Amino acid sequence: MKVAAINDLSGFGKCSLIADISVLSSMGVEVNPVPTALFTAQTGFHSFYMHDTKDMVRHCAEEWKKMEAEFDGILTGYIPYEREADYVLDFVETFNKKETVLLVDPVMGDRGECYSNYSYGLLSRIKKMVSMADIITPNLTELCILAGVDAAQIVRDTAKGNHLKKIENIANKVRAHDKQSVVVTGIFIENDKLCNMVVHEGGTNIIECSYNGRGYSGTGDLFAASLLGNVLNGKNITDAVSDTTEFINKAISATMEEDGNYGTGFEKILRNSNF
């Protein structure tokens, strides 16, 4: 199996393409990376340099089309600017065939706030990708942005309880078609618990996990890659999310580094996995 992974590459932070390549390769999936940007370190660090690689997205599409390349899956992640998003859309429209599983991670914000590269033009392009996707994996902030509701207010409301039904309603509003699965990640339940919500053709499932109150670079990327790998390996969406949630929990438990900017200890889990 082959997956085109469209994401940035960061020197430090163990996220994005590093996560995509590591996880999917360990699951028996060949990864063909399409870098949207190169970073010296992921953007949580106090200092970093970004090198724009938008032309690589365009050239990958052009050259791989000449090669008549085909993909079992396409994963989209961080897109810096509107122009890159146009190229990513062109790539997806070229290679997203009937049998291809398209997973869109709409990377736009977190904790009720948009990232610095966010723009309405970028949002419109990501919405178009979302409309084409088989699976989307927004966090709560990104779900609200896609739905056009106040992300900051919804994030604040999660601390008051009884918010899961409201989030489910928002997810159904975002859901582009009956076959699409919306997986909302990292929803706060209580002090030591989070959950991932799966809204899919068969209904809604809640997958709970433990929470240590800390954040780690790359967990969203690890989640998306593991989820896609599990689906490509034949698991239904709920089981795929459940297994992926367990993998992320184990990766966090294996983390010795105190600074979450450096990511999780996921390599230890992949080394001992039964993929």
Query: Where exactly are the structural domains of the chain?
Result: 2-271
pTM: 0.95
Distance CA 175, CA 134 (A): 10
- What is the Cα–Cα distance from 149 to 153, expressed in whole angstroms? 9
CATH architecture, domain 2-271: 3-Layer(aba) Sandwich (3.40)
Q: Give the whole-angstrom CA distance, residue 202 versus residue 184.
A: 16
pLDDT tens across the length of the chain (275 residues): 999 999 999 999 999 999 999 999 999 999 999 999 999 999 999 999 999 998 999 999 999 999 999 999 999 999 999 999 999 999 999 999 999 999 999 999 998 888 888 999 999 999 999 999 999 999 999 999 999 998 888 877 776 666 898 999 999 999 999 999 999 999 988 778 899 999 999 999 999 999 998 999 999 999 999 999 999 999 999 999 999 999 999 999 999 999 999 999 999 999 987 65
**Would you state the pLDDT for residue 159?**
61
